[in-house]
Amino acid sequence: MSTALGIEFGSTRIKAILTDDKGKILAEGSHTWENQLIDSCGKKIWSYSEDAIWAGLQDCYSSLAADYKTKFNETLTKIDAIGISAMMHGYLPFDAEGKLLVPFRTWRNTITEQAADILTDKFGFNIPQRWSIAHLYQAILDKEEHVGKIDFLTTLAGFIHWKLTGQKVLGVGDASGMFPITDGDYDKDMLSTFKSMTDIDLNGILPKVLSAGEAAGKLTAEGARLLDISGNLSEGSLLCPPEGDAGTGMIATNSIEVRTGNVSAGTSVFAMVVMEKPLSKVYKEIDVVTTPDGFPVAMVHCNNCTSEINAWANMLKGFADACGANIDMNTIYTTLFTSALKGDKDCDSVISFNYFSGEPVTGLEEGRPLIVRNPDSALTFENFARTSLMSAVASLKIGMDILKAENVKVDKMTGHGGYFKTPVAGQTIMAAALEAPITVMETAGEGGAWGIAVLALYALNNSVSLSSFLNDVIFKESKSSTVAPDEADVKGFNDYIAKYKAALPVEKLATEVLSL
């Protein structure tokens, strides 16, 4: 039996999963961490230190090894394949000696607006602020001293993979969040444009692009010690190309074929659809990235989703406690979500904005959670619950409506994340928002660490296409449930979103008069 280890660095948790050759989970481990707001080159940036990265990796692996020891009463010494995944985008520049030149700038930083706008115009391709090339060009515009010393630029997943294998490579999906991809590699015309703008040849500093199934090096003796501080793990494991969290989400939901997509709904929400053809023009609301095997994907990313639901759930728990009612949080969430299905289809004009932070899709740099309604709106608990769930995906709908207008076809959307934890409720609202069936798979809850473990398995068994491997080996016996959009729900959401858009100036005014 072959084994595969997948490790994914999320924004608040590092998770490790060990699987057998069919993707069945054998052991798990995790480590909790948080980004820090620090000063760097005269800027406030969100970052994780190098010490935090390695300590987190080692603690996560140690907890997995301990779980394996408990379950199988033996020490984990050999793993056939390993995959590393992490938050996409960001900025990790190194000099020729392998020294990190500035602290890691994560995807969360919105300090590159000038660069992103210029590159979008010059490339004729949307370059979001969080992309690595936007960070590099902003550093050039700001005349940061370190730029002239850059020998290698990569992502978090690429950095860890490099240190474990010695290979400066990246999976095509993660690479597509660094620089635009065409036909499986960095777009040659845009590389040339960037060189004419800066006199920098990116071919010399960006990671080599690999597709799913390709060998991406082997775990070195030094890498094994870096991963497993106990010294029990042997070298020689095959590593698959390192990938970003978007790509592993596609794998975990089996959403890599044309006209399929997935929607991840948690603290933030994003939807991805594998396209049949390119978009007709550039949209700042739409990112174009790729699947782990290189097919173009339209991505709508929104900063806000369930945080406001969580805040209200905590308030309701406080009310229950004040009443002397012993109600646990799981019951509160379940009641909130199921009650949403009993509200008026358009929430009777009870409009909610769930903006804890700014929302690029609707053009807001900051956010203020807000509820607004007409005096005669029925503020029932059911309508409150429904507007909470609808506002959580309202910005996503606005972005996805652009794809609808572009005639981007979606036969199946697979949902994952906390929004779908309560059966049926989240699926029903999301199906109405996206006007497409929403499927939830039992494996989707395993997340990106499992997804990258599956890609590691594929590197061992790449004699068929990635799609065939997923359908015939990994998901052959998986269970799922699907909720189709209801006509009345769709109409209600469309009525709701029209009022939501009309009320956006109220939300903008709130950000101006309620200072942080």
Q: What is the pLDDT of residues 371-388, one digit of tens each?
A: 999 999 999 999 999 999
pTM score, whole prediction: 0.88
Nearest-angstrom CA–CA distance, 499 and 496: 5
- DSSP output for 48-76: --HHHHHHHHHHHHHHHHHHHHHHHSS--
323 in the same domain as 217: no
d(CA 161, CA 84): 6
Q: Which residues of 161-173 are buried (b: 16+ CB within 10 A; e: fewer)?
A: bbbbbebbbbbbb
| pLDDT > 80? residue 445 | no
The CA-based angle 310-311-317, given to 5 degrees, is 85
- As given in the structure block, the two tokens for residue 162 are 């490099």
447, two tokens: 């997340």
Each residue's pLDDT tens digit, 214-270: 999 999 999 999 999 999 999 999 999 999 999 999 999 999 999 999 998 888 898
Highest mean pLDDT among 37-46, 241-250, 414-423: 241-250
Q: Do both 110 and 241 map to the same domain? A: yes
Question: Mean pLDDT lowest for which of 120-134, 177-191, 366-380, 403-417?
Answer: 403-417
- C-alpha dihedral, 319 to 320 to 321 to 323, nearest 10°: 90
Residues 228 and 372 in one domain: no
The answer to whether 240 and 455 have CB atoms below 8 angstroms apart is yes
What's the count of helices (H) and strands (E) in the chain, helices before strands? 17, 23
502: number of Cβ within 10 Å: 10
Q: Are residues 46 and 125 in the same domain?
A: yes
- Rounded to an integer, the average pLDDT of 275-304 is 93
| CA–CA distance, 10 with 381 (Å, rounded to integer) | 34
Final residue before a domain boundary, out of 197, 227, 245: 245
Q: Return the structure tokens found at 465.
A: 């296409």
Q: In the numeric block, which tokens belong to residue 63?
A: 């907890």
Q: Report yes or no on 217 lying in a domain.
A: yes
Residue reference for tokens 């997340």: 447
Q: State the Cα angle at 397 between 393 and 402, rounded to 5°.
A: 155
Say whether both 120 and 32 belong to one domain.
yes
Domain that holds residue 178: 4-245
- Residue 476 and residue 333 in contact, taking contact as beta carbons nearer than 8 Å: no
Q: Is residue 297 part of a domain?
A: no
SS percent in the chain: helix, strand, coil, step 5: 40, 20, 40
Please state whether beta strands 92-94 and 152-154 pair in parallel, antiparallel, or not at all (unpaired): antiparallel
Euclidean distance between CA atoms 266 and 416, whole angstroms:
8
Give domain status of residue 188, yes or no.
yes
In a domain, 502, yes or no: yes
pLDDT of residue 150: 98
The answer to whether residue 283 sits within a structural domain is no
CA distances from 264 to 33, 160, 250, 255 (A): 21, 25, 10, 12
Residue 74 phi, psi (nearest 5):
-150, 155
Instruction: Report if residue 233 sits inside a domain.
Output: yes
Structure confidence at residue 444 (pLDDT): 56
Q: What is the CATH number of the domain that holds 105?
A: 3.30.420.40
**pLDDT-based confidence at 89, cuts 50/70/90?**
very high
Token couple for 248: 């592993």
- Domain end call among 245, 260, 280: 245
Mean pLDDT over the full length of the chain = 95
Residue 120 pLDDT grade (very low, low, confident, very high; cuts 50, 70, 90): very high
Backbone angles phi, psi at 263, to 5 degrees: -125, 125
In terms of domains, do 369 and 223 share one?
Answer: no
CA distance 205 to 151: 5
Cα angle for residues 29, 33, 37 (degrees, 5° grid): 165
| Residues 327, 230 share a domain | no
Q: How far apart are the first and last CA of the chain?
A: 56
Instruction: Note whether residue 345 is domain-resident.
Output: yes
233, 100: one domain: yes
Domain match, 241 and 313 both: no
Same domain, 326 and 209: no
Residues 232 and 332 in one domain: no
Does the residue 253 lie in any domain? no
Q: How many domains does the chain have?
A: 2
Same domain, 364 and 501: yes
Domain boundary among 223, 245, 267: 245
